[in-house]
Structure 1
Amino acid sequence: MKQEQPNNPLHGIKLAEIVQYLVAEYGWEELGEQIKIRSFNNNPTIKSSLKFLRRTAWAREKVEKLYLETIKNSEY
């Protein structure tokens, strides 16, 4: 049974969708400048980034925060 999460703005959004959106919005180079992780700066791929982000909570939090800030700013 799935639980509803009305106060979670990321509910229903997959991490892969978030990373793909940010890459399309910023590109790998700019994304690597904003969030300093190796999978964004050294031979970046969606697959390697997802593998790292799924294992590393602090990096995932930074990516999710940037995503929320980006979509908030794009609404204006």
Structure 2
Amino acid sequence: MQKKSLDGITLENILVQLVDQYGWDGLAEKIQIRCFISDPSVKSSLKFLRKTAWAREKVEKLYLESE
């Protein structure tokens, strides 16, 4: 199994892959932030994640831990 890396992967790509894998409901269950719970979209979530380091770190961590 190859270990995932964040090298060369955009935040948008990470988010899209996580939504594909878990869906918005599953993602909101794993990371409880409003942009995933209330009327979620890639655009609004990216806007929030780019401004909020702690939330972006949680998303990146989940991406690295997911298969």
TM-score by length of 2: 0.92
For structure 1, list consecutive stretches of 5 or more residues without a partner in the other structure. 1-8
Q: Give 1:21's aligned amino acid.
A: Q
Question: What root-mean-square deviation, in Å, do the aligned CA atoms of Structure 1 and Structure 2 show?
Answer: 0.5
Q: Distance in 2 between matches of 1:11 and 1:52?
A: 21
Residue 13 of structure 1 aligns to a residue in which SS?
coil
> Which structure is higher in RCO with an 8 Å CA cutoff and minimum separation 6?
2
1:11: Cα distance to partner?
1.4
Q: Quote the Cα distance in structure 1 between the aligned partners of 2:29 and 2:57.
A: 16
Structure 2: segments with no counterpart, 5+ residues: none
Q: Highest Rg: 1 or 2?
A: 1
The residue type equivalent to 2:59 in the other structure is V
Q: Which of 20, 29, 35 is the equivalent residue of 2:31? A: 35
Letter in 1 for 2:18: L
Q: How many pairs are equivalent?
A: 63
- Percent identity (aligned): 62
